[in-house]
Amino acid sequence: MKKNITIIGNGFASLFFIGYFLSLPLFPFFLSFLRRVYSRYQVTVIGNGRFIYFPAIPEFITGKKTKKGITIDIRPYLRRRNIRFIDDQVVDVRDGGRTVLTTQGPFSNDALFIGTGPGFMLDDIPGTREYTFSPCGGPDAMEEFMHRLSGLREGVIYVGFKLNRRDGFVAGRGGQMYECACLLDYALTQKGVRDKFKIHLFSPNIEPGETGAVTDRLLERGIILDYGYEPAEFVEGGMRDVDGSLRRADLILFTPGITAPAWVRGSCLPLSAGEHIDVDRFGQVKGLQRVFAAGDCSSHEAPPPWVPHQAHMAQLRSAAAAKNLRAALRGREPSHTYRFELSCILNMENDALWLHAANDNKPPFWNIFPRHSQKLIAVKNGFERLYLFYLRYL
Ligand SMILES: Cc1cc2nc3c(=O)[nH]c(=O)nc-3n(C[C@H](O)[C@H](O)[C@H](O)COP(=O)(O)OP(=O)(O)OC[C@H]3O[C@@H](n4cnc5c(N)ncnc54)[C@H](O)[C@@H]3O)c2cc1C
């Protein structure tokens, strides 16, 4: 009897998991027939069928990336791997992980992988839903921001982020918001209207007076630093401070801290202190058998404080989870852990920085790339093209 593996979500974590779990990470079209013959697993993915390459969303600001270019119908990729696709939303996980409930009904499994991505702390600062835009809301939210921006001839734009640090790592989107602020500066300069706009960068999670390469890049661009600042409330026309005063803003691009999605709270999945799905260093959901999670929905065991939620980390975690799940299905103990690494190219269009940290101090790509060079933008675009080509055609 084939083992029934269910995967929730069709984002980075789930697709990396599939790549590592199936025998050949690059599975060319003609081999899909072969896989039907020898596969030991019946794999089912439950999701919306659309993969979004989130790292390209800040580039909507320069017009170089669009919703169409970064959204992929993932069903052909799944068909090529003989994976069953259920177009639905998961609303609950029960029976110690053995039953996944969607709006259509229950699906049972022998093993479960959860890659549902993040939930955002939208109620943390009142008015976040009503008065802010976020690149993390996906292509539609970013397009709406761009639409509003195009209607402004002058104004004040605040770009900010807040992190959830309760699990001891960076559950939020700092780097992406730095990128958005720098790209805004570039786009407005190209339009010849930069002097008509003030751009602020705020976050309660950055110490006032903090220095470093990113701060230098922001200052070079005349971006006003409101490090340490947290509004009491977002309101019509700006932000209200604790003392009741109003900071005027014509547009606010803000991303709140990250937790697991809301539906997880009512499920049998355990929650960490920071309200992520609680997993151990093998990617196993604590206290449950043959249930694994990776990506933005899940916590880490003993993480370094600088590690963020990233597609890159999702890949490292999914690789370990895939090997451990295969071992678990053979009745063995999990033994594969993963490295912690922050690796991200900050694209400023007229410049770029490679932000990097690793728990084993390994440099990115054997240090063959510079850490500070506009040429890194081509490298970042290269990664994107390669990955989207793999999803579209292989
Ligand atoms: C603007 C922006 C820029 C970024 N830049 C970078 C970068 O440069 N480098 C980097 O490494 N990372 C970057 N990231 C972070 C990266 O995109 C995330 O860490 C990554 O997407 C996490 O992968 P995931 O699979 O956990 O979540 P996602 O990619 O969000 O995938 C989650 C999946 O689950 C599905 N899903 C959600 N809820 C349900 C449900 N109830 N039922 C079924 N399916 C569900 C979704 O439809 C989606 O398919 C960026 C993120 C943003 C927003």
Question: How does pLDDT run along the chain (394 residues), one tens digit per residue?
Answer: 889 999 999 999 999 999 999 866 455 556 666 666 667 899 999 999 999 999 999 999 999 999 999 999 999 999 999 999 999 999 999 999 999 999 999 999 999 999 999 999 999 999 999 999 999 999 999 999 999 999 999 999 999 999 999 999 999 999 999 999 999 999 999 999 999 999 999 999 999 999 999 999 999 999 999 999 999 999 999 999 999 999 999 999 999 999 999 999 999 999 999 999 999 999 999 999 999 999 999 999 999 999 999 999 999 999 999 999 999 999 999 999 999 999 999 999 999 999 999 999 999 999 999 999 999 999 999 999 999 999 999 9
Residue 246: predicted pLDDT:
97
User: Among 138, 165, 44, 140, which Cα is nearest to 100's?
Assistant: 44
Backbone dihedral angles phi then psi of residue 54, each to the nearest 5 degrees:
-55, -40
Strand-strand pairing, 71-73 and 111-114:
unpaired
CA distance 138 to 57: 7
Residue 18: predicted pLDDT:
96
Backbone dihedral angles phi then psi of residue 60, each to the nearest 5 degrees:
-60, -30
Residue 24: predicted pLDDT:
61
Q: Which residue's C-alpha comes closest to atom 30 of ligand 1? A: 117
SS3 253: strand
**DSSP assignments along 91-154, one per residue:** EEEEGGGTEEEETTEEEE-SEEEE----EE-TTSSTTHHHH-B-GGG-HHHHHHHHHHHHT-SS
Residue 28: predicted pLDDT:
57
User: Among 85, 172, 81, which Cα is nearest to 125's?
Assistant: 172
CA distance 185 to 372: 19
Owner of token pair 């407005």? 188
Q: CA 183, 234, 67: angle at the middle one, nearest 5?
A: 40
Q: Which residue's C-alpha comes closest to atom 15 of ligand 1? A: 310
Beta bridge partners of 225: 201
For 226-255, how does the pLDDT look when each residue is reduced to its tens digit (9 = 90+)? Answer: 999 999 999 999 999 999 999 999 999 999
User: Among 74, 75, 86, 84, which Cα is nearest to 2's?
Assistant: 84
Q: Using an 8 Å Cβ cutoff, are 391 and 15 in contact?
A: yes
- What separation in Å is there between the alpha carbon of 29 and the centre of ligand 1? 26
Q: CA 141, 388, 300: angle at the middle one, nearest 5?
A: 70
Residue 283: predicted pLDDT:
98
Residue 1: predicted pLDDT:
82
Hey, which of 67, 72, 163, 310 would you mutate to test ligand 1's pocket, going by the most ligand atoms within 8 Å of its Cβ?
Answer: 310
Residue 37: predicted pLDDT:
65
Domains and CATH numbers, the chain: 3-118+260-339 (3.50.50.60), 120-258 (3.50.50.60)
SS3 381: helix
- What separation in Å is there between the alpha carbon of 194 and the centre of ligand 1? 32
Residue 172: predicted pLDDT:
97
Beta bridge partners of 111: 5
Q: What's the pTM value of the predicted model, to 2 decimals?
A: 0.96
Q: Using an 8 Å Cβ cutoff, are 5 and 42 in contact?
A: yes
For ligand 1, what atom is nearest to the CA of residue 180?
1
